[in-house]
Amino acid sequence: MKITHEQGWLALVGVLLCLGGRSGYAAAAANSGPSVAAGDPGVLLTAASPIFAGPSATGLVVDFAKLQTEAAQGNADAQYQVGSDYLRGEGVSQDDAQAASWLQKAAAQGVGPAECDLGYLYEMGRGVPRDYRKAAQWYGTAAAQGIANSQYDLGLLYVHGYGVPQDYAQALKWFEASAAQKDSAAEGAVGFLYARGMGVPQNDGTAVEWYRKAALQGDADAEANLGSMYLQGRGVAQDYAQANHWLHLSAAQGTTLAQAALGLAYLYGHGVAPDRTEALVWLTKAANGGYTLAQVLLGDLYQSGGDYAQAVRWYEKAAESGSPQGQYYLGVAYQRGQGVPQDAAQAIHWFRGAAMGGDRKSQVILGLQYASGRYLKRDFELAYAWVALAAEPPNAPPYAAQIRNALAGHLTAAELAKSQERVRSWKVGQDLQ
């Protein structure tokens, strides 16, 4: 097994473009108070909290008690602040249910940041049952007040169709509204929609412009996506040095896609001197971050170097995370007895998982096992169905159609029709048993 350009670099570039979600609490700055960075989870407290006095533990308790008294008297700003403190565990034990209760009261009085945070709680199911419709409702009311974070978060709901009909044009509208306020995540999201032609005519040049705006603000996803555009020469001249510059910035912030891309850049010498050691460093960072493609690529590197035990270690991580590629290569390891004792039952187990996940090679292998009857009970109907799935365009292995046609000769017309119906009704994740 050898890493090829297609397995690694180009496969990664194909998935590098990503639309990231904002991490942490939905944060919205009030119109008054000190300036704060967009997305800073401290915004809710520091932007508008005239009652909050200081960092000492005693001061926190006294100020929170005063806040709670005012909140109980119906002061909307105090209700919002109490909810925010419960949400963040500032001056009081963190309590999502209490946070939701007080934020509900403040939101009912039209406090925009409270509406924003309440939308977040409903989206995440914290302190309240998860309810995407209510999340969209509260994000919408806050977005209408001009809260940039809620405009972005509402756009994300429209992208995914959570709580609202999937509508890329609406997503673009809200992303652009947030981007007009210099929200870096929203700027990157506008770039993503232009790069993919979602809700707007596809335009790589415009995508690059938006990615650059967000990347210059330090948005990690935008840095990764801008690097990807330079890798592919989309909207800009292909430039590996520029690609690696942006990928380095993103990777330093922990973006696993960027870390994996850098690892492959060092492996293949794209824009840098080839350096297998440095490639392993970046691929390992991405793999330890849970990126399954990096885990598979690491497995390939170790396997090609003859370290089968390390290869199996990484294939197992990817396989157990549900990666069809990882499951396939782990099946091969058990089939050959490389890095693990040879075990046909384990090999078939992992080939089946990969086949159910859509891996074409595994579908052919599983079909042939049913046809041979050596390790599985002979069943030509299942054999035909698995290989026929592998032969479906696009990206069918060149040998799959020939094997499918040969297997058809072992079936009656009724059996063939039954197998073909299995193929038509199959969905990724399903077994054909």
pLDDT of 91 reads 87
Closest to 263 in 3D by CA, of 345, 71, 237, 274: 274
pLDDT of 143 reads 98
Cα separation, 87 vs 98, whole angstroms: 8
Of 55-69, 244-258, 308-322, the range with the lowest mean pLDDT is 55-69
In which element (H, E) is residue 152 found? helix 148-160
Per-residue pLDDT at 43 exceeds 60: no
Burial grade of 96 (CB within 10 A; 0-12, 13-18, 19 or more): middle
Kindly report, residue by residue over 260-289, the tens digit of the pLDDT: 999 999 999 999 999 999 999 999 999 999
How much of the chain, in percent, has pLDDT values that exceed 90?
A: 84
20 band by pLDDT with thresholds 50, 70 and 90: low
pLDDT of 18 reads 65
How many Cα atoms within 13 Å fall on the side-chain side of residue 64? Answer: 20
Q: Please spell the DSSP secondary structure of 381-411, one letter per residue.
A: HHHHHHHHHHHSSSS--TTHHHHHHHHHTTS
Tokens 């460093």 map to which residue? 281
Cβ(152)–Cβ(144) below 8 Å = no
pLDDT of 2 reads 36
pLDDT of 5 reads 34
What is the mean predicted confidence (pLDDT) over 12-31?
45
Please give the DSSP secondary-structure letter assigned to residue 38.
Answer: T
Cα separation, 338 vs 81, whole angstroms: 59
Helix (H, G, I), strand (E, B) or coil at 6: helix
33 band by pLDDT with thresholds 50, 70 and 90: very low
Cβ(41)–Cβ(26) below 8 Å = no
What is the mean predicted confidence (pLDDT) over 78-93?
94
* C-alpha of 172 from chain center: 20
Domains, the chain, in order of start with CATH, read 29-146 (1.25.40.10), 166-286 (1.25.40.10), 343-425 (no CATH)
Kindly report, residue by residue over 151-183, the tens digit of the pLDDT: 999 999 999 999 999 999 999 999 999 999 999
Cβ atoms < 10 Å from Cβ of 325:
24
Kindly report, residue by residue over 356-379, the tens digit of the pLDDT: 999 999 999 999 999 999 999 999
Two tokens, residue 282? 């970046």
pLDDT of 65 reads 86
